[in-house]
A and B are shown apart, each in its own frame.
Chain A
Amino acid sequence: MSVSRSAPKSAIAAHLDGVPRSGIRDFFEIVSTRKDIISLGIGEPDFVTPWRIREESIHALERGSTSYTANLGMLELRREIAAYVRRSYGVEYDPQTEIIVTVGVSEALDLAVRALINPGDEVIYHEPCYVSYAPVVAFAHGRAVAARTSREQDFRLNRDQLEALVTDRTKALLLNFPTNPTGAVLLRRDLEGIAEFAVEHDLIVLSDEIYSELTYESERISIAAMPAMRNRTVFLNGFSKAWAMTGFRIGFACAPPDLTEAMMKIHQYTMLCAPVLSQWAAVDALRNGDGDIVEMREAYRQRRNLIHSSLNAMGLTCHKPSGAFYAFPYIGHLGLSSKDFALRLLDEKKVACVPGTAFGDSGEGFLRCAYATDIEELKEAMERMADFVESL
């Protein structure tokens, strides 16, 4: 006789019903059963955290730095963050009241959404996008409204698309440029239009700029630096991608004092503070890590060039991603859905790529190929993929 292990009926909160499991997770479960595959499905750097940064964290542990820190994060780190944001983006934030250190950017985004959204408020975001945006809004009982970006526009976002979606319930706009999974980057004129849109409709902009250090050609501009935007922007960034520190789980948000205070209120009761060893590592990353970023950025750019030319050479049209470490080729003309293409590529050639649909419905017809992978593996993966496309 089998014993049920389910919780009582309707124990799970109703608003979770509408939130799907991450498509990444589904695909991960398929891939993790396979052996000897080359994975272009990994959304994190293949580099290990630079040794100097790791060493700083070890040193902190040796010193016995194992306590809680201030809720907002160590002041020393917040000062470094203020200096970094000033020199890199030209925006001034007060380390005492306008910066909060979080457990990855994911937490920072969650805090910002929860601090802003009343039930029924709408948040416009762009799709295809990182898997967590719509769910985070749903968890806050808000409504996530997708603006679909297209390959014809290199997956950029413009004001006209937003005007068509704005209502009197729209509270915020969520941006992620450079974009996971498309590698899209906004041009200055796009940003200007979006900034004007935000001011006109009195919106808060949540700008997830986690890939901003990995911008290859175009100028790196934050929407927070646009006229009249500083006080209506939550600038979100972190150490995971540019400094290869994903497992440290450390990020931050910069926002006007009242908003930072509201985020802190949630953070202090739910997280207390970010891990202290990660905070020390982050201090070193900002003090001494610029050279490491330059090296890694150069390696990613070379791989980007390689994957972009290889994909196009095998007949998969792919815009040249200007940032992050993802290529997003079109496979829709080959008569397979994104998922079927990814599954057959995995079965027949042992190469794992994530179906574009994991990043929203508008990802149908596309594949996300992460090039944060060793260059030799990347070359091999491209050859196998070319064979596969040839065989279709």
Chain B
Amino acid sequence: MDELLKLLKQNALESPKNLARMLGIAEEDVKKRIEQYEQQGIIRGYQAIINEDRLDLEKVEAVIEIRITPEREGGFDRVARRISKFPEVVSLFLMSGGYDLLAFVKGRTLKETAYFVSDKLATLEGVVSTSTHFMLKTYKDQGVLMHTDEDHERLKVSP
């Protein structure tokens, strides 16, 4: 991956000035390249990574394995795109193995999420079966640990 994109993935708030200094290029070039990435749809958004377990939220998250019937024209795409449009679906992936799609779904209550699965998802044309797993606790999300290891102290000056 382009080094600029990697740096933005680590910290999207990094200023163009510092990005430029780290990459050894001009600040203007950094701004231009970010703009291009946005226009090309390669950068699709900027988000904070939040440990929601630490917030007093009423929410339910589930992972749903979905088996669907591929269509002659379009394969899995048409059904997958329909599913991805539901706001409850946070992430959706086409998978190899025992099922076809893996959906990460978010709702406020167990009831709400169950309703979404049984009434919206399972009844979609092309969906053969679903298997729902509720998430209990987050340890790591998008490469970021949700717990802080104790700081290891280095000597203040060493050879």
Contact = CB atoms under 8 A, between A and B. Distances in A.
B154 interface: yes
Interface stretch (B16-24, B92-100, B117-125, B127-135): B16-24
Contact of A43 (B7, B22, B24, B159): B159
A309 interface: yes
Given A48-B152, A302-B7, A375 B157 contact: no
Contacts of B39: none
A130 B24 contact: no
Nearest to B14: A375
Contact of A306 (B21, B155, B159): B21
A44 B3 contact: no
Given A48-B152, A302-B7, A24 B22 contact: no
A314 to B, nearest CB: 13
Contact of A24 (B24, B152, B158): B158
A27 B157 contact: yes
A379 B18 contact: yes
Contact of B156 (A32, A132, A180): A32
B7 to A, nearest CB: 7
A106 to B, nearest CB: 9
A246 to B, nearest CB: 8
B156 A310 contact: no
B156 A44 contact: no
A328 B156 CA distance: 18
Given A48-B152, A305-B24, A354 B18 contact: no
A28 B22 contact: no
A39 interface: yes
B154 A46 contact: yes
Contact of B158 (A43, A298, A305): A43
Contacts of B155: 28, 32, 42
Interface residues of B, number: 16
Nearest to B22: A302
B158 A28 contact: yes
Contact of A41 (B7, B23, B157): B157
Contacts of A354: 157
Nearest to A379: B18
A31 B157 contact: yes
Contacts of A27: 157
A352 interface: yes
A218 interface: no
Contacts of B149: 48
A131 interface: yes
Interface string B17-57: 01001111000000000000000000000000000000000
A303 B152 CA distance: 21
Interface in A1-29: 22, 24, 27-28
A46 B18 CA distance: 20
A305 B3 CA distance: 13
A131 B159 contact: yes
Contacts of A31: 156-157
Interface in A180-197: 180
A32 B153 CA distance: 12
Interface of B: 3, 6-7, 18, 21-24, 149, 152, 154-159
Nearest first, the 9 A-B pairs at minimum CB distance are A41-B157, A302-B22, A28-B157, A305-B24, A306-B21, A31-B156, A24-B159, A43-B158, A39-B156
11 contacts: A22-B159, A28-B155, A28-B156, A28-B157, A41-B157, A43-B159, A48-B149, A302-B3, A303-B22, A306-B22, A309-B21
